Amino acid sequence: MRWTIKPKPDPNKVARLSKELVVDDITSFLLIQRGIETFEEAKDFFRPDLKDLHDPFLMKDMDKAVARIEEAILNKENILVYGDYDVDGTTSVALMSSYLLTYYSNVATYIPDRYDEGYGISYKGIDFAEDNNFSLIIALDCGIKAIDKVDYASKKAIDFIICDHHRPGTKIPNAKAILDPKRDDCNYPFKELCGCGVGFKLIQALASKKGETIEDLLLYLDLVATAIGADIVPIVDENRILAFHGLKVINQNPRPGFKAIIEQVKKGTLTITDVVFIIAPRINAAGRMKHGNHAVTLLCETDINLATQYANEIDTYNSDRRDTDKRITIEALDQLEELKEQEGCTTVVYKENWHKGVIGIVASRLIETYYRPTLVFTKSGDVLAASARSVKGFDVYNALEQCSEFIEQFGGHKYAAGLTLLEANYGKFKAQFEKVVSETIDPKLLIPEISIDSQLNLTDITPKFYRIISQFAPFGPGNMTPVFMTEDMQDTGYGKQVGEDKTHLRLTATQNGKGKLVGIGFGLGDQTELIKNKKTFKAAYTIDENEWNGNVSLQLKLKDIKP
């Protein structure tokens, strides 16, 4: 692991902010690192206010989108709400359809089949709309590159409103309205909304025309917060406000679908991390293992008994998904061993019968072993389909653009993308991808980085300090959980490997004989030698609470230790 310590802020700024907020210097230090330098900025950070959401009509084409929906309702047209099969897509469809259905009944939903239709808008989906007399499709979390498909729909007298957050190509579709903050010609003040976030801005605009306020839309924020967490968008600006209030809804008044999932896992107050690792995988599992429709049905269900039944079915899909991705990860690692392809700057693996629904998860798992941009391919009909995942600091989307001569279709983000190509081009693509990455990546990005906010003494870690930094939540890109480093530590002599397979490390640390805190390092069992016989070591860690037999205590969540 490569440890980097963030630059220290100006001491004068730290002292001034500490005085204004009446907090210790470490807290001010952490706030300034996050761009918060005044009392007012701190107030906005600690008390995210729905009143600070931007006017939805600042988004390019918002007026056109609202006008077209109002026209459809006036003319009693059938509206099809269309979205991708992942968490962002299914929450978007649940959000938009359930809002429209509160005052207009001619609304239905459509999620493409991952295996039969693939990602995004499909010809099959448009044919379904034509066969069932839909004249308006609202596409969410997809569509920004669907130029031919939107043209195909318009020949059938079907209009499109596109709500997307992916990067547009050089051309955009000829839709009635395209809401995408990443459009070059869109001056919306915040560019990092997820697809469900863009959908929320549309219902915010529709609601304002009906005289409703943001308070009337609170019950939809559980969906938005889940999409923000799952899609790994920066939790700053509007995303922070939406995630903060959405988490309140999840914890205080969750929709039956979420309530049923939470009851399965018997968890107390959920954080954004819990949403990412508990709720999101279950919603995703429907589209991965069966069909995304199951997720939308669960999220829209109002009867808790039915929601419990649907949540149980989805839990089964999630168990299947876990077994499948574990098996394929082992096969992929074996393939890399056999091919002797542990060298190089990329990981590219392929097997024709790998389950398309889990190849993205497998790509992320492979990065845990071989830390480099990774693609996992499988056969999908007449083509090969892949999920791409990247390492921190490297834009895999740009790299794929430079391999586009061998690709049929691709789309995505800086750190995650999907693509298809002809089997005949697999070898050429693989060579080109390795060439592009090896020529453009900074070699240090191939070593996992721990970014440390600040050095800390163990005696600084008090319940009061923990309470304050807990209020920095919700955490995520742009506002990560603070990581600290402490030097001159020793174990009290009881450090040991723990866990079923002894892969974790548990110790009790002191620093120069002062302070005493339990530390747990998941996956750090092989570093036990570094702490034996009271050897001095340094550790990088976050701080959290451990509850055992009703007692709550602070503990260090170790990320890495070094001599």
User: Tens digit of pLDDT for each residue in 112-159?
Assistant: 998 888 888 999 999 999 999 999 999 999 999 999 999 999 999 999
Check whether residue 80 and residue 34 sit in a common domain.
Answer: no
**Is the sign of the CA dihedral 148, 154, 156, 158 positive or negative?**
positive
Check whether residue 128 and residue 85 sit in a common domain.
Answer: yes
Write the CATH number for 413.
3.10.310.30
Check whether residue 512 and residue 393 sit in a common domain.
Answer: no
- Asked if residue 151 is part of any domain, the answer here is yes
Check whether residue 279 and residue 348 sit in a common domain.
Answer: no
> Looking at residue 119, what DSSP letter applies?
S
Task: Classify residue 92 by burial, with Cβ atoms within 10 Å: 0-12, 13-18, 19+.
Answer: buried
Check whether residue 119 and residue 21 sit in a common domain.
Answer: no
- Asked if residue 17 is part of any domain, the answer here is yes
Check whether residue 18 and residue 92 sit in a common domain.
Answer: no
Q: What is the pLDDT of residue 494?
A: 85
- Asked if residue 128 is part of any domain, the answer here is yes
Check whether residue 126 and residue 241 sit in a common domain.
Answer: yes
- Asked if residue 120 is part of any domain, the answer here is yes
Last residue of a domain, one of 401, 423, 446: 446
* DSSP code per residue over 245-291: HHHHHHHHS--HHHHHHHHHHT-SS--HHHIIIIIHHHHHHIIIII-
The string of pLDDT tens digits covering residues 321-377 is 999 999 999 999 999 988 776 678 999 999 999 999 899 999 999 999 999 999 999
Last residue of a domain, one of 380, 415, 446: 446
Check whether residue 289 and residue 365 sit in a common domain.
Answer: no
In the chain, the N- to C-terminal Cα span, in Å, equals 13
Last residue of a domain, one of 424, 446, 468: 446
- Asked if residue 328 is part of any domain, the answer here is no
More confident of the two residues 111 and 547: 111
Cα gap 1→553, rounded to integer Å: 28
Cα gap 366→369, rounded to integer Å: 5
Check whether residue 290 and residue 392 sit in a common domain.
Answer: no
Check whether residue 238 and residue 94 sit in a common domain.
Answer: yes
**What 3-state DSSP class applies to 504?**
strand
Q: What is the pLDDT of residue 289?
A: 87
Check whether residue 39 and residue 72 sit in a common domain.
Answer: no
The residue behind tokens 């968008």 is 233
> Looking at residue 476, what DSSP letter applies?
B
Check whether residue 425 and residue 462 sit in a common domain.
Answer: no
The string of pLDDT tens digits covering residues 437-451 is 999 999 999 999 999
Range of the domain at 402: 339-446
Cα gap 11→353, rounded to integer Å: 58
- Asked if residue 230 is part of any domain, the answer here is yes
- Asked if residue 285 is part of any domain, the answer here is yes
- Asked if residue 418 is part of any domain, the answer here is yes
Q: What is the pLDDT of residue 342?
A: 63
Number of domains in the chain: 4
State the pTM of this model: 0.91
Mean per-residue pLDDT of the chain: 94
The string of pLDDT tens digits covering residues 188-229 is 999 999 999 999 999 999 999 999 999 999 999 999 999 999
